[in-house]
A and B are shown apart, each in its own frame.
Chain A
Amino acid sequence: MTHPLLTDTADRKMLLLGNEAIARGALEAGVAFASAYPGTPSSEIALQFFHIAREQSDLYFEYSANEKVSLEMAAGAAMCGLRAIVSMKHVGLNVASDALLTLAYTGITGALVVAVADDPFMYSSQNEQDSRYYAKLSSLPMLEPSSVQEAKDMTHYAFDLSEILRSPVILRTTTRVNHASGVVSLGHLRRRVVAGSFHKDPYSYVCIPSVSRHLHPKLLKKTDQAANIADESSWNFIEGNGSFGVVCNGVSYGYVVDAITESGYKDRFKILRLGFSHPIPEKRILEFLDGCEKALVVEEGEPYLEEAVRVVAHKNGLTTPVFGKGDDLFSRLYEFDPAIVKNVLAKVFDMPFPIASPINTRDFPAAPPRPPNLCAGCPHRAAYLAVREVFGDSAIYPTDIGCYTLGLHAPLNMGDFLIAMGAGLGSAGGFARATGKKVVAFIGDSTFFHSGLSPLASAVYNRHNFLLVILDNGTTGMTGHQPHPGVDVSHLGLDKTQIDIESVVRGLGVKSVTTINPLHFAKAVEAVKRISSESGVSVLIMKAPCPLYEKTLPGHKSRRPYEVRPERCKNHRICLDRTGCPAFHIEENLVKIDSHRCTGCALCAQLCPEKAIRSAAREDNKR
């Protein structure tokens, strides 16, 4: 079946997810090369290319080991004249930034779009950094869509702009664009050019100091050229001609327009929507400020546009009061919503913006929380319990980013420090040196390939003392089961080389390496015990497939669920209290296992001291 995003009927309307719209925009621009490391809320961009490349082999797509590699990969293709896109979440750009900031100096000869998705409110991220400052830091042009339609159109435009400027272009979105859906009018699919050529020019591309000294002024010139384009760009538009000015970007634009339309004050307001927001379109801002009594900047995150508007006003001797972030104005925290925007509009412009009145819910009974939990049958649960069995609370547990981060919650309580991909392993030696305590660091298989290799080499070289547990579930679980270099993908018809983690670890000089299935619980505990007294860096690979991913593999046979035998159960709930497996529930005050959710991992059966839990299969045999 043809992928829906390959529909080649222009003007056809489709309901698309923001991330699908970005992928469609790239296809309409004739993208030939795409790479990514998955990360919410950007993952579905790459997912489209992953599927489409399996259908149309002239589109190259790869999941690279991390964002820096994926950017470099796309840069290589774009240096040869191809149209390339790389997508990542905001913190992924931190990883890729080393390459990006000097790639800005060399520029590219084809087109390169760097799609970066911010996550205000941190729905699924460790921070809510505002990536717009990367545009400033790198001097690269940046586009910010406000709607799903614009996500498509701007992506297409980003390729054209990149080609004109011979420079990478940043496409910056936020969760509420990436994970929004809207009606999109399609354009034509441009034919992709898949073969490029590289023209050697080391004095432009090899960034030794003497070369870079020539490239930096060139970059500043390009930035001026980009600023001129931004000043004229239809992505930076002014609506209305009232004397109350509102400057906005991204999803804030929708809130502003709706608030002003609903209130009926359209003639009092003038809106400047900045969609081409780096370099700052100074002339357009000046034109806007002209005749403004006061201006309010509506932007989630940091005061990026607010600072720019103030600078423009100051440079031009304007005294227009500019409002934005502030104690009783907009916050730098979290997401906005229509009510937040209306409240500040009302305050700054001193006019009523009626807000819906929510019903009183204060006396409602508290809704029990549903914290995210490791899935039923998740092998990470067994891995954590095995380590806890040996070290309890006495060890320090730096952890990492992935599903296994959820081990933090009760009843597992595993995870003491988490900041960035690979940082659990990176920080382990520091914790151990400083305290002399046992340190057990955790890292997932995908994260290991992303950011685990260099900290492991460093730890071995510097003779640190800790145990590293690699939780190898054979996929990138959290973001939707993408492959990584340790995964066999032959069943997908993909021609990739699977890399064996144990060999990698040995290759990096680790002497003590053990691989074990954590669901063989007694053996796993035994292994942890054995390693516990070792000095130096030991690695324990806890290997068992993610049950959700496993289900999708060809020839997979599901195991029988487990059940509690009421005649043996003493109802002390050791099983439930220790595992926290969501397949358990209490029915008429007795422990029960939900046969639809239980994957038959057998962990609880191994923990029950009464041997009261057994596979439902045995029951059948008995009958």
Chain B
Amino acid sequence: MKTTRIMIVAVGGQGNILAAKLLGEAALSCGIDVRMSEFHGMAQRGGVVESMVILGDGAGYCIADGEADVLLGFEPVETLRAARKCSARTLVITNTAPVLPFTVALGHAVYPDIPLALRSLASRVGKLTTLDATTLARLTGSVQSLNVVMLGALASSGVLSSIGTGAFEKAIQGKMKAPLALQNLRAFQSGYEACQNEIRGNSACAVE
């Protein structure tokens, strides 16, 4: 398979590493080669967590600036922070619900105007898809599954056409016990549909 590079960024505790694993397992079950690397610095909680997932041909484990085919952001400021990974053809899928950094609470930093920033991002990348994955996750039963909502959004983007939704569902069932898996399957579905709707122009996914 042609190399596809997916950069996943999140705040610690949002389940970035698990999302990357689920994506990796889904790809593996479809016979696609997977190389991933994860970075979480010193922070156990509340820091920035990055995963790089590279599917298909190649040998490297790292995505250089401008190389990402997809940037999947679980938090809008993290999407902006990682924007240098994008080129003019990158698909960006971002959650719009902020997680305020503590530096903002302390008054040491300001949280930027997200709709404005996302609009300039949208004008420079291939495509920007936005969704309030936090709310969608809550609606399916737990904020914790926002990572799986985001995976659903990624699955519906069409970039990973060789990985069917069945493979994702199998990966979710393989990594979680029954009740949790069920709830996450709903989360996956909800992210999937949200972005399908967006393609049809539903405002639920619009920037503001």
- B138 CB-CB contact with A under 8 Å: no
A366 CB contacts on chain B under 8 angstroms: 109, 112
Q: Is the CB of A254 within 8 A of B106?
A: no
Given contacts A251-B60, A357-B66, A406-B42, contact A585 B105 (CB under 8 A): yes
Q: Give per-residue flags for A386-406: 1 if the beta carbon is below 8 A from chain B beta carbons, else 0.
A: 000000000000000001011
Min distance, Cβ B100 to any Cβ of chain A, angstroms: 6
Q: Is the CB of B62 within 8 A of A403?
A: no
Min distance, Cβ B64 to any Cβ of chain A, angstroms: 4
**Alpha-carbon distance A68/B113, docked complex (angstroms):** 52
Q: Is the CB of B37 within 8 A of A15?
A: no
Min distance, Cβ A275 to any Cβ of chain B, angstroms: 13
Q: Which B residues between 39 and 76 are near A, CB-CB below 8 angstroms?
A: 39, 41-48, 57-67
Q: Is the CB of A180 within 8 A of B36?
A: yes
B42 CB contacts on chain A under 8 angstroms: 123-124, 372, 405-406, 478
* Interface hub of A147, A357, A359, A411 (most chain B Cβ within 10 A): A359
- A264 CB-CB contact with B under 8 Å: no
Q: Is the CB of B83 within 8 A of A371?
A: no
- From A278-286, A513-521, A576-584, give the one contacting chain B: A576-584
Q: Which B residues between 86 and 107 are near A, CB-CB below 8 angstroms?
A: 86-88, 90, 100-106
Q: Is the CB of A371 within 8 A of B112?
A: no
Q: Is the CB of A370 within 8 A of B47?
A: yes
Q: Give per-residue flags for B3-22: 1 if the beta carbon is below 8 A from chain A beta carbons, else 0.
A: 00000000100000000110
**Alpha-carbon distance A560/B207, docked complex (angstroms):** 37
**Alpha-carbon distance A122/B11, docked complex (angstroms):** 20
**Alpha-carbon distance A251/B38, docked complex (angstroms):** 14
Min distance, Cβ B207 to any Cβ of chain A, angstroms: 15
Min distance, Cβ A42 to any Cβ of chain B, angstroms: 15
B60 CB contacts on chain A under 8 angstroms: 251, 254-255, 257-258, 338
- B120 CB-CB contact with A under 8 Å: yes
**Alpha-carbon distance A357/B126, docked complex (angstroms):** 13
A360 CB contacts on chain B under 8 angstroms: 124
- B78 CB-CB contact with A under 8 Å: yes
A365 CB contacts on chain B under 8 angstroms: 80, 112-113, 116-117
- Chain B residue, CB-CB nearest to A596: B143
Q: Is the CB of B47 within 8 A of A251?
A: no
- Chain B residue, CB-CB nearest to A363: B120
Among the listed A183, A356, A373, which residue makes an inter-chain contact with B66, where contact means beta carbons less than 8 Å apart? A356
- A181 CB-CB contact with B under 8 Å: yes
**Alpha-carbon distance A221/B81, docked complex (angstroms):** 54
Min distance, Cβ A44 to any Cβ of chain B, angstroms: 11
Q: Which A residues between 347 and 376 are near B, CB-CB below 8 angstroms?
A: 355-361, 363-373, 375-376
- B85 CB-CB contact with A under 8 Å: yes
B88 CB contacts on chain A under 8 angstroms: 357, 359
Q: Which A residues between 401 and 446 are near B, CB-CB below 8 angstroms?
A: 403, 405-406, 410-411
- A220 CB-CB contact with B under 8 Å: no
Q: Is the CB of B25 within 8 A of A15?
A: yes
Q: Is the CB of B108 within 8 A of A356?
A: no
Question: Given A182-B34, A258-B58, A339-B67, list of 13 further CB < 8 A pairs?
Answer: A183-B34, A338-B62, A359-B125, A364-B121, A366-B109, A368-B101, A368-B109, A370-B43, A370-B46, A372-B42, A372-B43, A373-B46, A582-B46
Give A contacts to B, CB under 8 Å: 13, 15, 123-124, 146-148, 175-177, 179-183, 251, 253-255, 257-258, 261, 335, 337-340, 355-361, 363-373, 375-376, 403, 405-406, 410-411, 477-478, 548, 576-577, 580, 582, 584-586
Give B contacts to A, CB under 8 Å: 11, 20-21, 24-25, 28, 33-39, 41-48, 57-67, 77-78, 80-81, 83-88, 90, 100-106, 108-113, 116-117, 120-121, 124-125
